Each structure stands twice: as C-alpha cells, then as structure tokens.
Structure 1
C-alpha cells in the first residue's frame, strides 16, 4: 500500500514533467515577445502623443466587448442605399462569451478581453509546440510557436481580438488529429466554428482527414463522428444569423456593411500591383511585399512533407485571407491563423545555433511589432 500511495503522489509531478514542462520555453518566449511588441506599441503611441489604451480597445475590440456586455440585442437595420448597417452579429460569439464569463467575476470588459487574449495565446503557443514536437521534435515545436507569435499580423495577440483563441483551438485540433483522437478533434472544431468564420478552413481539414481515415478503414466509427460533428459550430452560428436576418446568406450579407466579399483575390492583386508600381503609401508597399512573401511560403509548404490536414488547413486559410475584398492592411491579420506557413522556416531555423537565433528572432519580433504599431498609431488603421 505504501508503494501505491507513493506512486499516486508522484503521478502529478510525472504528468507535469512529461506534458507541461517541455512546453514552458515556448509559452515563456511567447509571453516575452508579446511584452516586447507591446513595448514597441507603447513607444509608437508615445511618439504619436496618444495613450496606447486607445488602440488596445479600438476597432474589433469595441465590437467584441459590446457583444460581451449586451450580447446580440442590436437590431438589424438597412441603410438608404439598401446595404445593411454595421451589426454585432458579424462577430462570432465564443470570444465575447469568455469576456462575459470573466465579467461575472467583476473584471471590466476590456481588461477581460485582454486576459482572454493572453491566456488563449499561451494555449496556442502550447498547442503549436505540441504540434511541432509531434512532427519534428521539441526544438521545432518551440520555434513554430515563437515564429507564429512574431509574424507581422501578431500585433492583435496583445489586443482585444479573437485570433489567439482561434489559433489555440486550431492547433489543438490538429494535435488531436495527429494522435487520432477524432472525437476531441471534432469537439474542438465546433468551438473554433463559434470563434471566427476562418474556422471553415479547419472544418475542411478535419473532414478531409476523416474521409481519408474512413476510406482506409482506420479507427472504426470515430472518424465518422469527428467529421460529422466538426462543422456544427460554424453552421449553427451561420444558421442563427440567417434566422435573425431572414436570409440564408445572412452573415455574408452583413459583411456588405464593411464592403467585404469574396472576390477570388482581385482586390488583393490590384493592391499588390499598385503597392509595387505606383506612388502609394509606404504601408501599402510593405504589405504588398509581405503578401508576396506569404504566397512564396505557401508554395514552400507544398513541397514540404507535412500531414495532409496541415496542408489543407494552411492552403484554405491563405485563400480566404487573400481572396477577400477591402481593407488591404488586414491581410497579415487574416494570415495569422495560417501558422502552417512558418513550418518550413522552423525546420530551417532548427538547424541554426542558439546564438544566431538569439539575435535573429528578436530582430524579426521588433520589425514585426513596428509594422503592427505603425498601422495602429501612425496610419490609424485596423491592423
């Protein structure tokens, strides 16, 4: 009995050592780089003579906190031009639900939103570490989490935005798929579908992986359930909006208020072309160059041996990000969930010595943070 008691006492420590402790460097570096990026935002705000708090709670954060405070009580209205007015229904419910949950503990909406963003970002870094470790070892896992956290769209990882929550759910879904935990993958996909419309890429990836497993007759009935359950969150919320608006395409119709639509990349192509050839604003040129880099990375992923689900998810995410009209500056934020693009870079960086990474990664982080802070503080655009 003494040995059984001793084993029971050691089990939590063993679980911590094998499951949590290896991920601590990835999570710690994630937090460190977010502090660095927020410091850059603070300096840029000081230069613009504006409090950084103005930007932390601006743009989409206003909508999320409004949903957390009032839920979807805003009526659907149509302007004189026949176009719907901006409405909170366009913002998916899971992120503001977590904000509201912290509000029950007495935390105001904006601090609650930032807390959710931070915790979700840590969960995302952990999930990406697990994903990379299962794929190519712990060093690649750590680099995958770090590289994702310092991409040009990462400014929203310390603002009141929902991308960190989406990436956390996507990362752990792909971890579950890799470990053939179909029910967990399906359940996490449901939650992702309640977070952002971009979760459609994850739903496609899970369904493709489930179909492959069914065709190969692997894991019995579980892939069937995982694949069938995966779309329910996304479809459920889209159906709710359809009922509220009286239109089957209700969510897409509401996007007209922001002049958003799926245009097969026409708008992005025009902006890239003008950014490289015309006398345009500097941020347009920089964003155009970043879009080209993203496309090159997408091509690189296609020749990198990765699980099919990763390839499907990454490709569909990039297509969604680059094929929407209006707000060219948001392309990097839309590409933030496409962390698969950083996998080839992580594989290359894993071969570099630590002393090189100790210089390279902070430099990338500062440049990336400057880009996001510049859009917020100088250009005054939604990043």
Structure 2
C-alpha cells in the first residue's frame, strides 16, 4: 500500500488517493476475498458517508471557479432553461449564465475565451434530462442544479453493483474503485464524467437481459460525452458474439433514442447544431478549446503536427479499438464492456490536444467495473455464480 501510494504521489495528490482507493483497496479485497455481505455494506458506507459532506463543501465553495462546472452545471442548466422559454439551446449565448471566472480559461500564462460561452457542447439528451429539475426550480426554488440528477445516477450505479450476483469481495472492490477520489471531486464540481461512467456501467450490467434500458442509458452517456461513441464498437462485437447479428436488433432504442433527441435540433438550426456538437469536439469550431491537459497534442505538439501527428492519432485510435475488441472477445462477462469502453476511449484521448484531467474520472470510473469480471474461484471457496448468471443475471439481482 505504501508503494502504491508513493507511486501515485509522484503524479498528484488526487492520483495518490486514487491509487489507494481505486487500486490498493480493491487489490486487498481480491487477495483476501471476504465472503460476508457486510463488506459490501462497509464499502457503500466508506464511499458515501465521507463524501457527502465533502461534496457539499466543494459544491458550495462560492469562491472557487470549480465549485460549479462551466458545462456540466452552468451551461447544461441554462440550456434546459432556454428550451423551456422556447429558445434553441444551440443558438443562444451562455455568457450571462456563466460567472465571470468561467468566461475565460487559463493555460499556463495565457488566457483564452471559454468556448462554451457561445457553444452547447453536449448532445440534446444531456439538457433534456435536466428540464424537469429546472422546471421544478422555477416552481419551488430548488432542484435546478444538474448535480442532483448526476448524483442520483452515480448512486443508482452503486446500488446496482451492491445487489449484483457476484461475490461480496468483487462487489465491494467495484464500489470502492468507482467511488474513488476522482469520482468524488469531479462529481462535486459538476463535471458529467462520473455520471457518464455510471451510465455506461449500468448499461453494461443490464446488457444481457435489459438491452432496451441499457440502450437508453447509453443514449444519455454519449450525450454527456460524445467521445464515448468509440466504445460502441466493442459493445457491438460483444452483442454479435453472444447473439449473432440479429442480436443488434434488440438495441434499437440506442439509434432511435439518439435520433429522436438530435434530429429536431438539427432541423431547427442545422449550422449551429453541427458547429456546437461536431465542431466543438473536433476542435474545428471558431474559438475552439485551447490546447491543454494531458494528451500528446499539448504535451508534445511538435510530434503531433503534419503526417506524423495524423499517423499517431489514427494509430492510437486503432490500437485502442483492437485492444477493446480483444477484451470483449476473451472475457464475456458484461462488466468488461465498461472496461473496453475505457480502453477504446484512451486510444482517442492520449493523442488529443484537449485531454483534460476530468476525463480521468470517466476512465477510472469505467475501469472500476472490471473488478466484477475478475470474480473467480479463490481462497474463499464460496459459491461462485455460473457464467450464465454473471452474464445474464437480472440487473438488480441479489444473487
């Protein structure tokens, strides 16, 4: 544990904490494999109880720019409000919705206009799901903060994992890893990465028996984080491997859900919609997000220019997809779908010019579900679910 924490502390204080909560504790649970359901309850308590007051403190820090995320809280809520007023969220300006501290971004010693001032970077479902809360706030004065919705999604994922048929140590390891420091901090700030990870995890665990609900969860996850679309490739391979090509037909709510939420806004205002969604994420829109973060596009800009940069970008994406597909082909447990999504996503993020630290909350959240797939016979000698139970058990099954 000391070695793990020490390695993490070289990177960052938050990372050091994650190495303990996201890796160290799950490894200990895997090594000792406690059989009592008490370990699941303790894991839930350890994740939820200390984080609630901390999250409230972070969210209520009026002096911190990060107390409410520019896109996940301010712009998403303002987009829902604009829609209720009959305006197109992809045409309005969000300057009035953002605190002064969020109207510009600092990268090193340089300052850039924040592109979300004039762009709604998320697909429509991201703000459509916030409409009820915003409407409720208009009537009662409470409920409009999008973190309530995202927090409920995270809580739902934790509860579903706690009620899975895998053995207690595997469930506890997943809960602790998912509720790590990255998740707690970024969820409190209001980035939608943790909620997106929770949605993908819920979709993975419901993939075998509840594909319609799983597809609906993926619609919202991709709407929160469009790059997650690369994770649909290994997902499709998993479905075809289990059920054949006809199995994909059971996932019709995914394309239909995306179409029903996107097409009306595309028809309403084609140019702004494409500019805000496709242009924003590809970096081709006017006033695009400045190069920053952890990716090669910012850390090694000379390497990522011209033909070499294109080759590295395409090569990394290909490696990520190949590795993700290999995972789902070799490990049929549905939880591997979340891990495969993380691997495919990393193939896109590593060479990117805007791989922001908050994406670590998304990646680590997805990887956490892999502990359910690690469940294997061990020293506990307790009953192990059959592959069919683990792969197709009810989403809320207690085993």
Pairwise same-fold verdict (TM > 0.5): yes
Q: TM-score, normalised by structure 1?
A: 0.58
Secondary structure of residue in 2 paired with 1:120: helix
The structure with the largest helix share of the pair is: 1
Distance in 1 between residues matched to 2:81 and 2:266, nearest whole Å = 23
Q: 1:182 matched to which residue of 2? A: 211
- Structure 2 stretches lacking a partner, 5+ long: 1-36, 94-114, 302-319, 381-399
Is the alpha carbon distance of 1:258 and 1:176 closer, same or farther for their aligned partners in structure 2, counting shifts above 3 Å? Answer: farther
The one of 55, 61, 66 equivalent to 1:38 is 55
Distance 1:112 1:101 in 2: 11
What's the CA shift string for 1:229-255, capped at 9, x where partnerless?
323334555545544233895422134
In structure 2, the CA distance between the partners of 1:260 and 1:239, relative to structure 1 (3 Å rule), is farther
**SS of the counterpart of 1:67?**
helix
Alpha carbons of structure 1 residues 162 and 108: separation in structure 2 relative to 1, 3 Å? farther
Aligned to 1:227: 251
Q: Secondary structure at the match of 1:180?
A: coil
Query: Which range moved further: 302-311 or 109-118?
Result: 302-311
Q: Does 1:100 align with 2:131?
A: yes
**2:240 aligned residue:** 211
Q: Distance in 2 between matches of 1:27 and 1:94?
A: 29
Shift of 1:124: 2.1
Residue 313 of structure 1 aligns with which residue? Answer: 341
In the other structure, the counterpart of 2:180 is 150
The 3 A distance-change label for structure 1 pair 42 and 109 is closer
- C-alpha displacement of 1:123: 0.9
- CA deviation profile, 1:336-381 (whole Å, cap 9, x unmatched): 5433476399879x999xxxxxxxxxxxxxxxxxxxxxxxxxxxxx
Q: Is the 8 A contact 2:80 2:131 kept in 1?
A: yes
Aligned partner of 1:123 among 138, 141, 156: 156
Aligned to 2:81: 69
Cα 1:235/1:24, change in 2 over 3 Å: farther
Unaligned 5+ segments in structure 1 are 1-19, 79-83, 275-294, 353-383
Comparing 28-37 with 140-149, greater Cα deviation is found at 28-37
The match for 2:68 among 51, 57, 69 is 57
Shift of 1:157: 1.3
Task: Give SS of 1:329's match.
Answer: coil
Once the two structures are TM-superposed, the CA of residue 202 in structure 1 deviates from its matched residue by 4.7
CA distance 1:139–1:85, shift in 2 (3 Å): closer
- In the alignment, the residues of structure 1 paired with residue 67 and residue 361 of structure 2 have an alpha-carbon distance, to the nearest angstrom, of 15
CA RMSD of aligned residues (A): 4.6
Aligned length: 287
Aligned positions of 1:326-345 closer than 5 A: 326=354, 328-340=356-368, 343=371
CA contact (8 A) 1:99 1:109 kept: no
TM-score (norm 2): 0.56
Q: Aligned pair 1:252/2:278, yes or no? A: yes
Does residue 112 (structure 1) correspond to residue 145 (structure 2)? The answer is yes
Q: What secondary structure, in the 3-state scheme, does the structure 1 residue paired with 2:190 have? A: coil
Contact 2:234/2:337 (<8 A) preserved: yes
Which deviations, in whole Å up to 9, do the C-alpha atoms of 1:196-254 show, x marking residues without a partner?
A: 31441453344222211233x8xxx6x23223432333455554554423389542213
Tell whether the 8 Å contact from 1:118 to 1:157 is kept in structure 2 after alignment.
Answer: yes
Q: Is the 8 A contact 1:65 1:99 kept in 2?
A: yes
